[in-house]
Structure 1
């Protein structure tokens, strides 16, 4: 049975308010009302959206908020593909077309792309809502070209998120709190040697480079 979080992401009403209301509020929750997560997110995204002729895959793209940002400075034949399982989210994404973006429905556990297809692969604010999320990391690495990068933003266990009440509420809603080394260890098992992890507030930003 889908979790509460999964049902919400597939709801047309949630998809309609996600970009303008849901996502900003959720970012504030990560920062406990502060601006740490939002500020690092802005810098992280700016790096990934640097100018160049690259192919980018945005996994669990939702309504395309990051997909459009990542495509903004691409040059030449550069293109950014957003993939999501939610038809409601994708329907919202295509209402704001961009010449360097396209969207496709797909399962993050079985990405519909060949090995070594993309220069940059991202997965933002989604892994903690996906059932059995660790195999998704294997897929992110699989479709990344050698020398390419994988960027992840997700949850992390902290003093606050390890409190019994917080954990219970999160689990009931289908929300997963990842251990400090859980994401990085899985990346290493997938054969990644260079990994940069930054924990900000209640979340973690991870940048991995495929050998």
Structure 2
């Protein structure tokens, strides 16, 4: 059965609402009304915009919320590729983010249509909690990142409010998944990732990891 979230992501009108209104409000909600998530988000955007010749893959990129930041500092042959399953989201991204270094591809995050070890940065931001069977997506991200490259994820995490009876039922009906505190960390450990760091902001978590150099 298709979830509410999945149906919304395929709606052309929702792609504009998601980018301009719903996502910023929802991001603040991860901090339970505070500013921690927004503060970390600003720091992440600055980090993504640092100068360098990198190949960046943005898994489930939506309408391109991070496209401009991730592409702005790229040099040499650096390129940003945004991948999403929703055609309407990609159409919105292509309209809003035109740049020679930016490209968009429609594809399934469970079977990324790119070769092994081909990207320096592979990220999935504010999307993993919407993807059915999400943990194999981390496996694919680890497959396509280069040795020495980085994985960056922002998603939900269980906290005291998320543990309230009934929260899992509401999340399940809406299609939003609430991850356990160790769930992503353990998966990255199993994949052999190193320097795995987790920052929790309310009911959100940022996880950064690296693939070991050969």
Alignment TM-score, normalising by the size of structure 1: 0.97
Q: State the partner residue of 1:104.
A: 105
* 1:137-160 alpha-carbon deviations (Å, 9 max, x no partner): 000000000000000000000000
Residue 151 in 1 paired to residue 152 in 2? yes
Residue 92 in 1 paired to residue 92 in 2? yes
For residue 24 of structure 2, give the secondary structure of its aligned residue in structure 1: helix
RMSD of the alignment, in Å? Answer: 0.9
For residue 65 of structure 1, give the secondary structure of its aligned residue in structure 2: coil
Structure 2 unaligned blocks of 5 or more = none
Count of residues in Structure 1 that have an aligned counterpart in Structure 2: 211
| 1:32 Cα deviation from its structure 2 partner | 1.9
Measured in 2, the distance between the counterparts of 1:193 and 1:76 equals: 28
Residue 78 in 1 paired to residue 46 in 2? no
For residue 139 of structure 1, give the secondary structure of its aligned residue in structure 2: helix
Measured in 2, the distance between the counterparts of 1:194 and 1:12 equals: 39
Mean CA deviation greater in 36-45 or 152-161: 36-45
Alignment TM-score, normalising by the size of structure 2: 0.96
| 1:34 Cα deviation from its structure 2 partner | 1.8
* 1:19-71 alpha-carbon deviations (Å, 9 max, x no partner): 11011111121122221111111112221221101100000000011122111
Structure 1 unaligned blocks of 5 or more = none
Measured in 1, the distance between the counterparts of 2:16 and 2:200 equals: 30
Q: State the partner residue of 1:23.
A: 23
Measured in 2, the distance between the counterparts of 1:19 and 1:133 equals: 22
